[in-house]
A and B are shown apart, each in its own frame.
Chain A
Amino acid sequence: MSEKNFMAAFLEWLGDAVLDFKVPHPRRVFILVKYGYHKDAISWLLKKFPLTIISTITGVDLSDMIELNYHLWCGVAEVTVRTRLPKTKPIIESITDLIPGAALYEREVFDLFGVVFLGHPDLKRLLLPESWPQDQYPLRKDWRMNNQAPILEVKPIEAELSRDKSTVNVVLGPQHPALHEPERFLFKVDGEIVVDVEPRLGYAHRGIEKAAERLMFFQNVHLVERVCGICNVAHTTCFCQAVELLGDIDVPPRAKYLRVIIHELNRIHSHLLLLGVAGLEIGFETLFQYIWRDREIILDLMEKATGNRVMAEFSTIGGVRRDLTSTLADEIERKLNSIKKRIKFYRKVFKNDPIINLRTRGVGVLKESDALKLSVVGPVARGSNVKVDVRKHDPYAAYDEIPFEEITYDDCDSWARFMVRLDELEESIDIITYAVNHLPSGPYRVRVPRKIPEGESVSRVEAPRGELIHYVKSNGTAYPERVKIRSPTLGNIISMKAMIKGCYIADIPTVMASLDPCFSCTDRMVFVDVRSGDRWVWSINDIKARMGSGSEH
């Protein structure tokens, strides 16, 4: 179904309520509906396209109105259903009864824009601390941090889950050996069985979305790279693509292939990291050491190709920053071949080792219907037999020219999610080998002006952890009006509740590893650390002066 047919059918259904619509880019549809009609539009989508999942909800401040953009992927296009509500009375009906997976996104908008969602089962803060003042919404444009910057009180958060006599609340995090980033999980435990879980996000706030509005587009490339250390290539690629769509910039074909190569190297590195961690979580230290040793080879290749082991700084608006020499291309091919053998071995281990099977099979089951309802992405969805690979269904860069398989498993358990990643490793190696051998000649970068024309765009890439979406709005200057990032972990974390119920305490690390959570990505959008507000920037001399005066008193 093309975008035109889609719009025709949509207008037929909801003709009067549609105020405006546009199809600015292939597979991107923006529809503005009257206030109160967003639920009708979304339920039509769900009826027409049963595989519709919600990507995220973007709030945009239009000075007297707040615009809500519901980004939904319906299988043929990324449909943005938008509606506007007055800033003085920002109340709207929740869509969680249609798509339960929207719960966290609505909480995020509630947290940062102050929009109240009627009918939301559990509307409370997602990212800001509990002690944050009630009437301050950092992502609104009229919000200033100087003088209003509230002082945060650090106080222990009360147990959110009610406590029965027969159950015990076990807190995991913010610091815990099974977590590699700060995040807090409250598990309600009956004996050794987990009854419920309440995740608390937001320990790694950096306010990247707010900060992005104060930086120029080309500077923002480096900012979004720092959203996530592991999937940094996905973030830069995604942001650059969004800006290129806005500015109508044609990226040279060589750059597209180079992006694919580095993107896939990044995916291999991320998947190997996760599989190693999986080994560690189930107490298989030897497997962990083996896999991480092989990961070093990938990191060395990354360093040779981009200059950095982890932070690639590779994609930029209009292309990539470095070319790939033919000698390095050969080396990449050769080394990946040797890694492929190792991966085959690890696949055998995961498939046949009796204890790994005992620990992962049937543990953390996420049924296919639940995966759809919760709108999970990436390997988590594919482990539950939901086909969501952005590279296949919404191809970007050079993925439409490169043959590869989309991996799905229908076991729906932790084991399936690990196996998806193992098989994807082999696919990634094949993709890189193909790309290296079919690398087009020509320039690898075009120069682009700093000012980007007015408009908006949605860019999606398949990050190692799943669909990553960037929404970029430009007002015609060199600075973006709004940058919205939805990292894959925020899409997946909601499924933890469904997976963990009925599992043993000992299964918590396994299930968590099978989600491959990356909390720093998830937390990126929140307001800058309070101390960096105007009042609170202290130079080292200020501090010395303070300390000096302190000692005098």
Chain B
Amino acid sequence: MILKLGWEVEVSINTLLLFRILIFPGFLFLLLFVMFCDWFERKIMAKMQNRMGPSYTGPFGILQPIADYIKLLTKEDIIPEHAGSFLFSFSPILSFSLFMFSIFFFPIDGVNVFSHEGFEGDLLLILALVTLAHFMLFISGWASSNPYSGIGSVRILIQFIGYDMPLLILSAAPAFIAGSLSLEKIASKQPIYYVFLIPWIFIPFLLTLQAELEEDPFDIPHAETEIVAGYGTEFSGRKFAFVRLSKDLQLVFGAMLAVNLFLGGPYGPVISDPPSLWFTLWFLLKTLFVIFIIEFIEAVCARLRIDHVIRANWRLMIPISILSLALTVLSIPLIKPLMEVIQ
């Protein structure tokens, strides 16, 4: 009996976990959300540029990304003659899965996808995972043995290695205030959103995010008019679908990171029953808000040059991030009582 009961209990837990990983709030849900964000992003850009944007696939063109991905999956898939075929084939998928896995750690419906409390230090883990995912994008370009891809890949390395540093430094500030390296705890310990508490961290963080996501003014690794599509030039068909999906996931990841660290994650002003639904709603709304800001910056900016970006990184972003972290540390005696009062 006991054995049987134990077995049954074990099965039910595993089904729940499986459901959470594969369907909600895991893989399928995130995939749909990412496609929605793709549409959202395109629609915003279109509106800002006085265009229509996707408009006839489904209501308001909302099914356009799905149509695009289905089309890409049916297209011929070409591997260039001189490309390193293993790396060329696997790096887009690997990059996609790394981004997806990183998103699993966000407390989308109050807890993360693995439904436990998360562990101390998952912030560091996802930042490391994302750096690896960026590296996969570099590998994918490098493996395609195309001069444009080569230049694009080198630009990715230059840009990401540079901007990972300020991103890490700036991410440390919310962790410092919350006194934890766990994403969930950082989100839950925000009686006032950190964006209001430490705006001097949030603004450079957004700019760094812009560089990490290759959005204007930092879209240098795939500057169309210079190097065609950069690292993605040789990709077609299914592989290109994965490259694009990883790009979309990257954007969503960036926005979710900002939401988790600075905008209180899943916690919103109104929470009623069932809380997990409301948590999800708030989390996604805030994510869309951050995407809106990112796209707004993209729409009003021209592209910088790689030397500008390097100079801006070493002369500006790194000193600024260190200084603002120092400012945060110094203002802790003021921040702590303030937070306690509100709580």
Contacts and interface: CB of A to CB of B under 8 A. Distances in A.
A122 B231 CA distance: 37
Contact of A286 (B224, B225, B300, B306): B300
Contacts of A287: 302
21 contacts: A170-B147, A192-B306, A280-B225, A281-B225, A282-B302, A283-B217, A283-B302, A284-B301, A285-B299, A286-B48, A286-B300, A287-B302, A290-B50, A353-B302, A355-B302, A355-B303, A359-B302, A359-B304, A505-B226, A506-B223, A506-B306
Nearest to A353: B302
Nearest to A288: B49
Interface residues of B, number: 27
A359 B223 CA distance: 14
B151 A356 contact: no
A358 interface: yes
B149 to A, nearest CB: 13
Contact of A359 (B51, B151, B300, B303): B303
A282 B303 contact: yes
A507 B227 CA distance: 12
B234 interface: no
A290 B307 contact: no
B184 interface: no
Contacts of A425: none
A25 interface: no
A211 interface: no
Interface of B: 45, 48-51, 147, 151, 216-217, 219-220, 223-228, 299-308
Nearest to A508: B226
Interface string A355-369: 110110000000000
Contact of A290 (B49, B227, B304): B49
Contact of B305 (A176, A281, A284, A507): A507
A413 to B, nearest CB: 15
A286 B299 contact: yes
Among all A-B residue pairs, the 8 with the closest Cβ atoms:
A283-B303, A284-B302, A289-B49, A178-B225, A355-B302, A509-B225, A506-B305, A282-B302
A10 interface: no
B307 A504 contact: yes
B216 A283 contact: yes
Contacts of B219: 283
Interface string A329-354: 00000000000000000000000010
A287 B223 CA distance: 16
Contacts of B227: 505
Interface string A493-532: 0000000000011111100000000000000000000000
A170 B307 CA distance: 19
A355 B301 contact: yes
A283 B303 CA distance: 5
B292 to A, nearest CB: 15
A163 interface: no
B111 to A, nearest CB: 40
A286 B305 CA distance: 18
Contacts of B226: 178, 505-506, 508-509
B219 to A, nearest CB: 6
A442 interface: no
Given A283-B225, A285-B45, A506-B305, 7 more contacts: A283-B216, A286-B48, A289-B49, A355-B303, A504-B307, A505-B226, A508-B226
Interface centre among B48, B147, B219, B302 (most CB of A within 10 A): B302
A504 B306 contact: yes
A359 B304 CA distance: 7
A177 interface: yes
B156 to A, nearest CB: 14
B301 A506 contact: no
Contacts of B225: 177-178, 280-281, 283, 509
Nearest to A282: B302
B116 to A, nearest CB: 44
Contacts of A192: 306-307
Interface in A100-123: none
Contacts of B300: 286
B50 A355 contact: no
Contacts of A393: none
A280 B219 CA distance: 13
